[in-house]
Amino acid sequence: MKKMFFQLLSLLFASFSCLNAGAKKVRRPEIISKLPDRLLSIPAVERYERYQLEITDGRSGDSSSLNKKNGLLDIGDYRVNLLFFTDFIQEAVFQKLSWPDSLLYVAEVATGRNETNDTSVLYSKALTKAQKTRLKATKKHTAFDDVYFNYGFGNNCPPGDCKHYFIGLTSRNNIIRAVNPGELKKLLPRVRNPYDAWFLLEGALYWPKGKYAKVDDGYLLLLNKRTRDCQIDYADILYHVNLKGKVEELGRVLTQKTNLCF
């Protein structure tokens, strides 16, 4: 009897092991995978050789994959599974940024010659009188603003003409100025959430429609962006932003073209 019991136990264990082995063979759907070298390069896509978008009434239809909730998208050298992507909330970017504890104040400053700067406060803690005085002096029009008047944030920050930069005040009473995407890491040295990644990538008050997905070393961002101002074109662009803020474009797909200009 005891022998039969152990034989039955061994049989059950063997069956369980087989089931586990079988389960391991089932592959979890991948967020992103590399495609064979068979797709056109970014310049070829920009020349509309792959995507036949017909213009009627000044513009073509919108074929952006951001309109989809699931499915696979081939973009550049990669295939992404849209099921794993979440929509960005465009109205909540600045509220969701994870400013470091060392920052007391962050603002966007729109520059203009011979005028007081137009300042939009994005984040602020309780400030002392001395700190408020320090900021007040910084906000006045200076030679610094004249330098960046013709360039704007991000070296003309195409598309569009957005002449602005960001300033921050640290707990040591130091002023930080960020006038291009690389300098935004002074304000957000570490990517802690997808909105941090979006800010480091865009650095603007114009926020394109987008989605994000979490991966092991950061975030994938899929954005539909204007790629030209004349004629106006739009493309889905896939980016990878790692936890240290390094940005890499992985591919793009033209989604709309027009005969219009800004």
25 Cβ contact list (under 8 Å, min separation 6): none
Q: What pLDDT score was predicted for residue 34?
A: 80
Q: What pLDDT score was predicted for residue 13?
A: 52
Question: What residues in the chain have per-residue pLDDT under 70?
Answer: 1-29, 36-54, 56, 111-117, 139-163, 203-206, 262
Q: What pLDDT score was predicted for residue 150?
A: 46
- Determine contact, residues 100/192, Cβ cutoff 8 Å: no
For residue 50, the 8-state DSSP code is: S
Q: What pLDDT score was predicted for residue 85?
A: 94
Q: What pLDDT score was predicted for residue 169?
A: 92
Work out whether strand 86-87 and strand 210-215 pair parallel, antiparallel, or are unpaired. Answer: antiparallel
Q: What pLDDT score was predicted for residue 262?
A: 63
Q: What pLDDT score was predicted for residue 159?
A: 46
Q: Looking up tokens 């959430």, which residue turns up?
A: 193
Q: What pLDDT score was predicted for residue 205?
A: 52
- What does the pLDDT look like over 73-105, one tens digit per residue? 888 888 899 999 999 988 888 889 999 999 999
DSSP element (H, E) containing 253: strand 247-257
Q: Looking up tokens 């957005």, which residue turns up?
A: 162
Work out whether strand 175-178 and strand 164-170 pair parallel, antiparallel, or are unpaired. Answer: antiparallel
Q: Is it true that the peptide bond before 231 is cis, omega within 30 degrees of 0? A: yes
Q: What pLDDT score was predicted for residue 163?
A: 64
163: tokens are 């002449």
For residue 260, the 8-state DSSP code is: -
20: tokens are 């586990």
